[in-house]
Amino acid sequence: MEYKPELSVRSNHDIIFNNDFQSVDVQPYSGNIHLDAKGKIQFNLNVADKVTDPTTHQEKLVNDNALVRYVNNITPSDENDKGSISFHSKTGNLFNMNVNVHKGTHHFGIHNLRNTNVNLTAEDGDNVVAIKGKLAEPMPAGKVESTSFLRGIETAFKSNTVLTGNNNKISITTEGDGLGLGVNGLQSNSPYSGHTTGTFINNQPSNTTQPSLDGTSTIELKAVKGNNEVDLNVKNHASVKGIITSHSAKATLEAEEDNIVRVKNPDTKTALINAWKEKYPNNSPEPYRVGGSIHD
Protein backbone atom coordinates (compact mmCIF):
# COMPACT_ATOMS: atom_id res chain seq x y z
CA MET A 1 0.00 0.00 0.00
CA GLU A 2 1.09 3.61 -0.47
CA TYR A 3 0.84 6.24 2.22
CA LYS A 4 -0.48 9.70 1.55
CA PRO A 5 1.24 12.46 3.53
CA GLU A 6 0.04 12.48 7.12
CA LEU A 7 1.45 15.97 7.50
CA SER A 8 1.88 18.46 4.66
CA VAL A 9 2.86 22.07 5.39
CA ARG A 10 3.48 24.73 2.75
CA SER A 11 4.56 28.30 3.42
CA ASN A 12 5.27 31.35 1.28
CA HIS A 13 7.81 32.34 3.94
CA ASP A 14 9.90 30.38 6.49
CA ILE A 15 8.98 27.29 8.47
CA ILE A 16 10.71 27.38 11.87
CA PHE A 17 10.46 24.91 14.77
CA ASN A 18 11.82 25.99 18.17
CA ASN A 19 11.99 23.32 20.85
CA ASP A 20 13.53 23.69 24.30
CA PHE A 21 12.97 20.18 25.57
CA GLN A 22 13.34 16.97 23.61
CA SER A 23 13.29 15.43 20.15
CA VAL A 24 11.12 16.50 17.26
CA ASP A 25 9.87 12.95 16.79
CA VAL A 26 7.70 11.91 13.88
CA GLN A 27 4.50 10.28 15.12
CA PRO A 28 2.77 8.11 14.23
CA TYR A 29 5.75 6.14 12.99
CA SER A 30 4.23 4.87 9.77
CA GLY A 31 3.43 7.79 7.52
CA ASN A 32 4.86 10.59 5.43
CA ILE A 33 5.72 14.20 6.24
CA HIS A 34 6.26 16.93 3.66
CA LEU A 35 7.38 20.51 4.37
CA ASP A 36 7.68 23.06 1.58
CA ALA A 37 8.87 26.64 2.19
CA LYS A 38 9.61 29.49 -0.19
CA GLY A 39 12.00 30.73 2.49
CA LYS A 40 13.98 28.46 4.81
CA ILE A 41 13.13 25.47 6.97
CA GLN A 42 14.81 25.63 10.37
CA PHE A 43 14.79 23.34 13.41
CA ASN A 44 16.26 24.69 16.68
CA LEU A 45 16.58 22.29 19.61
CA ASN A 46 17.98 23.40 22.96
CA VAL A 47 17.96 20.19 24.96
CA ALA A 48 16.83 20.48 28.57
CA ASP A 49 19.58 19.29 30.91
CA LYS A 50 17.43 17.42 33.41
CA VAL A 51 13.78 16.44 33.81
CA THR A 52 11.74 15.13 36.72
CA ASP A 53 10.65 11.51 36.41
CA PRO A 54 6.82 11.47 36.86
CA THR A 55 6.98 8.14 38.73
CA THR A 56 9.94 8.54 41.07
CA HIS A 57 9.86 12.36 41.16
CA GLN A 58 13.65 12.24 40.89
CA GLU A 59 15.63 14.36 38.49
CA LYS A 60 17.30 12.50 35.64
CA LEU A 61 19.47 13.48 32.73
CA VAL A 62 17.82 14.07 29.38
CA ASN A 63 19.25 11.53 26.97
CA ASP A 64 18.85 10.17 23.44
CA ASN A 65 17.43 13.19 21.62
CA ALA A 66 17.36 14.07 17.94
CA LEU A 67 16.50 17.16 15.94
CA VAL A 68 14.43 14.90 13.69
CA ARG A 69 13.83 11.22 14.36
CA TYR A 70 11.81 8.79 12.26
CA VAL A 71 11.52 5.15 13.29
CA ASN A 72 9.19 2.96 11.24
CA ASN A 73 7.67 0.50 13.71
CA ILE A 74 5.57 -1.48 11.24
CA THR A 75 6.16 -5.21 11.78
CA PRO A 76 7.08 -7.01 9.66
CA SER A 77 8.87 -4.27 7.79
CA ASP A 78 8.30 -4.32 4.02
CA GLU A 79 9.36 -2.13 1.09
CA ASN A 80 5.74 -1.06 0.66
CA ASP A 81 5.75 0.19 4.23
CA LYS A 82 8.58 2.65 3.67
CA GLY A 83 7.82 5.96 5.35
CA SER A 84 9.34 9.25 4.28
CA ILE A 85 10.23 12.77 5.35
CA SER A 86 10.63 15.38 2.61
CA PHE A 87 11.79 18.94 3.33
CA HIS A 88 11.96 21.31 0.34
CA SER A 89 12.98 24.93 0.79
CA LYS A 90 14.07 27.83 -1.38
CA THR A 91 16.86 29.25 0.80
CA GLY A 92 18.05 26.43 3.07
CA ASN A 93 17.32 23.63 5.54
CA LEU A 94 18.99 24.41 8.87
CA PHE A 95 19.13 22.06 11.87
CA ASN A 96 20.71 23.38 15.09
CA MET A 97 21.10 21.54 18.40
CA ASN A 98 22.60 22.84 21.65
CA VAL A 99 23.09 20.23 24.36
CA ASN A 100 24.95 19.70 27.62
CA VAL A 101 27.13 16.60 27.32
CA HIS A 102 27.12 14.35 30.37
CA LYS A 103 28.84 11.01 30.92
CA GLY A 104 26.10 8.73 29.61
CA THR A 105 24.25 10.81 27.03
CA HIS A 106 23.95 10.46 23.27
CA HIS A 107 22.22 12.75 20.80
CA PHE A 108 21.60 12.93 17.06
CA GLY A 109 20.89 15.51 14.40
CA ILE A 110 18.85 13.38 11.98
CA HIS A 111 18.06 9.83 13.09
CA ASN A 112 16.04 7.61 10.76
CA LEU A 113 15.68 3.86 11.13
CA ARG A 114 13.84 0.85 9.74
CA ASN A 115 12.74 1.39 6.16
CA THR A 116 12.54 5.18 6.10
CA ASN A 117 13.55 7.83 3.57
CA VAL A 118 14.69 11.36 4.45
CA ASN A 119 15.09 13.91 1.63
CA LEU A 120 16.30 17.46 2.26
CA THR A 121 16.34 19.76 -0.76
CA ALA A 122 17.52 23.37 -0.61
CA GLU A 123 16.69 24.81 -4.03
CA ASP A 124 19.02 27.81 -3.77
CA GLY A 125 20.62 27.43 -0.36
CA ASP A 126 22.45 25.05 1.96
CA ASN A 127 21.60 22.04 4.09
CA VAL A 128 23.24 22.37 7.52
CA VAL A 129 23.12 19.93 10.45
CA ALA A 130 24.98 21.47 13.42
CA ILE A 131 25.35 20.06 16.94
CA LYS A 132 27.12 22.05 19.66
CA GLY A 133 27.84 20.22 22.89
CA LYS A 134 28.81 21.95 26.14
CA LEU A 135 30.97 19.61 28.26
CA ALA A 136 29.00 19.62 31.52
CA GLU A 137 30.75 16.80 33.42
CA PRO A 138 33.93 17.63 35.40
CA MET A 139 37.13 15.84 34.40
CA PRO A 140 37.91 13.00 36.83
CA ALA A 141 41.22 12.94 38.67
CA GLY A 142 41.77 9.25 37.93
CA LYS A 143 40.54 6.77 35.32
CA VAL A 144 38.67 8.31 32.40
CA GLU A 145 35.45 6.61 31.34
CA SER A 146 32.86 8.32 29.17
CA THR A 147 29.94 6.71 27.35
CA SER A 148 28.61 9.81 25.59
CA PHE A 149 28.54 10.37 21.85
CA LEU A 150 27.09 12.75 19.25
CA ARG A 151 26.09 11.95 15.67
CA GLY A 152 25.16 14.30 12.87
CA ILE A 153 23.13 11.82 10.78
CA GLU A 154 22.44 8.17 11.51
CA THR A 155 20.62 6.15 8.86
CA ALA A 156 20.14 2.45 9.50
CA PHE A 157 18.21 -0.73 8.81
CA LYS A 158 17.23 -0.44 5.12
CA SER A 159 16.88 3.36 5.21
CA ASN A 160 18.04 6.18 2.94
CA THR A 161 18.95 9.84 3.42
CA VAL A 162 19.59 12.38 0.63
CA LEU A 163 20.73 16.00 1.07
CA THR A 164 20.70 18.19 -2.05
CA GLY A 165 21.73 21.84 -1.89
CA ASN A 166 24.30 24.41 -2.94
CA ASN A 167 26.42 23.19 -0.04
CA ASN A 168 25.87 20.47 2.55
CA LYS A 169 27.52 20.75 5.96
CA ILE A 170 27.44 18.41 8.95
CA SER A 171 29.13 19.99 11.96
CA ILE A 172 29.74 18.69 15.49
CA THR A 173 31.64 20.81 18.02
CA THR A 174 32.23 20.76 21.77
CA GLU A 175 33.18 23.56 24.11
CA GLY A 176 34.47 23.67 27.68
CA ASP A 177 37.12 21.90 29.76
CA GLY A 178 34.95 19.10 31.14
CA LEU A 179 34.80 15.38 30.40
CA GLY A 180 34.79 14.90 26.65
CA LEU A 181 33.04 12.44 24.38
CA GLY A 182 33.69 8.74 24.75
CA VAL A 183 32.17 5.56 23.42
CA ASN A 184 28.85 3.95 24.30
CA GLY A 185 29.00 0.40 25.61
CA LEU A 186 32.57 -0.13 26.77
CA GLN A 187 31.82 -3.88 26.91
CA SER A 188 29.97 -3.97 23.59
CA ASN A 189 30.49 -6.66 20.96
CA SER A 190 30.35 -3.97 18.31
CA PRO A 191 33.44 -1.75 18.55
CA TYR A 192 32.14 0.83 16.04
CA SER A 193 28.57 1.15 17.30
CA GLY A 194 28.95 3.82 19.95
CA HIS A 195 31.43 6.33 18.57
CA THR A 196 30.93 9.97 17.68
CA THR A 197 30.52 10.28 13.91
CA GLY A 198 29.43 12.88 11.39
CA THR A 199 27.41 10.33 9.42
CA PHE A 200 26.74 6.70 10.34
CA ILE A 201 25.16 4.32 7.83
CA ASN A 202 24.41 0.79 8.96
CA ASN A 203 22.45 -2.26 7.85
CA GLN A 204 23.33 -4.57 10.72
CA PRO A 205 20.64 -5.79 13.15
CA SER A 206 20.93 -4.65 16.75
CA ASN A 207 22.07 -8.19 17.54
CA THR A 208 25.50 -8.00 15.95
CA THR A 209 25.84 -11.80 15.78
CA GLN A 210 23.18 -11.85 13.05
CA PRO A 211 23.91 -11.24 9.34
CA SER A 212 23.21 -7.95 7.61
CA LEU A 213 19.64 -7.19 6.62
CA ASP A 214 18.60 -7.67 3.00
CA GLY A 215 19.03 -4.56 0.91
CA THR A 216 21.19 -1.54 1.76
CA SER A 217 21.20 1.66 3.78
CA THR A 218 22.49 4.78 2.04
CA ILE A 219 23.40 8.44 2.54
CA GLU A 220 23.91 10.81 -0.40
CA LEU A 221 25.26 14.34 -0.14
CA LYS A 222 24.83 16.32 -3.37
CA ALA A 223 26.40 19.79 -3.43
CA VAL A 224 25.28 21.23 -6.76
CA LYS A 225 27.25 24.51 -6.55
CA GLY A 226 29.80 24.15 -3.76
CA ASN A 227 31.10 21.72 -1.14
CA ASN A 228 30.09 18.77 0.96
CA GLU A 229 31.66 19.19 4.39
CA VAL A 230 31.71 16.83 7.37
CA ASP A 231 33.47 18.75 10.15
CA LEU A 232 34.06 17.41 13.68
CA ASN A 233 35.96 19.49 16.24
CA VAL A 234 35.36 17.64 19.50
CA LYS A 235 37.18 16.82 22.71
CA ASN A 236 37.12 13.04 22.80
CA HIS A 237 38.53 10.15 24.81
CA ALA A 238 37.92 7.47 22.16
CA SER A 239 38.03 7.31 18.39
CA VAL A 240 35.99 9.75 16.31
CA LYS A 241 35.07 9.14 12.68
CA GLY A 242 33.76 11.50 10.05
CA ILE A 243 31.86 8.86 8.04
CA ILE A 244 31.15 5.22 8.90
CA THR A 245 29.54 2.72 6.53
CA SER A 246 28.84 -0.68 8.01
CA HIS A 247 27.28 -3.92 6.77
CA SER A 248 25.69 -3.39 3.33
CA ALA A 249 25.75 0.40 3.65
CA LYS A 250 26.86 3.07 1.20
CA ALA A 251 27.85 6.75 1.44
CA THR A 252 28.02 8.90 -1.71
CA LEU A 253 29.39 12.46 -1.79
CA GLU A 254 29.01 14.45 -5.02
CA ALA A 255 30.18 18.06 -5.17
CA GLU A 256 30.70 20.73 -7.81
CA GLU A 257 33.69 21.90 -5.75
CA ASP A 258 35.17 19.75 -2.94
CA ASN A 259 34.23 16.93 -0.60
CA ILE A 260 35.80 17.76 2.77
CA VAL A 261 35.95 15.46 5.81
CA ARG A 262 37.70 17.01 8.82
CA VAL A 263 38.14 15.36 12.24
CA LYS A 264 40.00 17.25 14.97
CA ASN A 265 40.47 17.15 18.73
CA PRO A 266 41.13 20.69 20.00
CA ASP A 267 42.68 19.29 23.21
CA THR A 268 45.74 17.29 22.16
CA LYS A 269 46.40 16.14 25.75
CA THR A 270 43.03 14.43 26.18
CA ALA A 271 43.26 11.23 28.25
CA LEU A 272 42.32 8.09 26.30
CA ILE A 273 40.01 5.20 27.13
CA ASN A 274 41.10 1.58 26.82
CA ALA A 275 37.66 0.97 25.37
CA TRP A 276 38.14 -2.61 24.15
CA LYS A 277 40.99 -3.85 26.36
CA GLU A 278 39.10 -6.81 27.84
CA LYS A 279 37.62 -8.07 24.56
CA TYR A 280 40.56 -7.06 22.37
CA PRO A 281 43.63 -7.29 24.66
CA ASN A 282 46.07 -6.42 21.87
CA ASN A 283 44.38 -3.10 21.20
CA SER A 284 46.05 0.09 22.35
CA PRO A 285 44.10 3.09 23.69
CA GLU A 286 42.06 4.81 21.01
CA PRO A 287 43.91 7.92 19.85
CA TYR A 288 42.77 7.91 16.27
CA ARG A 289 40.62 10.35 14.33
CA VAL A 290 39.40 8.87 11.05
CA GLY A 291 37.87 10.63 8.07
CA GLY A 292 36.05 7.57 6.73
CA SER A 293 35.64 3.97 7.83
CA ILE A 294 34.11 0.88 6.19
CA HIS A 295 33.12 -2.21 8.19
CA ASP A 296 32.02 -5.55 6.74
pLDDT tens digits, one per residue of 96-130:
999 999 888 888 999 887 778 899 999 999 999 99
Phi then psi for residue 265, to 5 deg, are -110, 115
* Alpha-carbon Rg for the chain in angstroms: 19
Q: Identify the CA nearest to 129 among candidates 200, 30, 48, 51.
A: 200
User: Which domain covers residue 183, as residue numbers?
Assistant: 5-295
- Pick out the chain residues at pLDDT < 70: 1-5, 20-31, 48, 50-53, 61-63, 70-81, 185-193, 204-215, 274-296
Q: Identify the CA nearest to 203 among candidates 160, 156, 162.
A: 156
Cis peptide bond upstream of 5, omega within 30: no
Q: How many domains, the chain? A: 1
Q: Residue 192's pLDDT is what?
A: 56
Is residue 98 packed enough to be buried (19+ CB in 10 Å), middle (13-18) or exposed (0-12)?
Answer: middle
Say if residues 167 and 124 touch (Cβ distance below 8 Å): no
pTM of the model: 0.86
Q: Residue 103's pLDDT is what?
A: 83
Mean pLDDT across the chain: 80
Give first-to-last CA distance, the chain, whole Å. Answer: 33
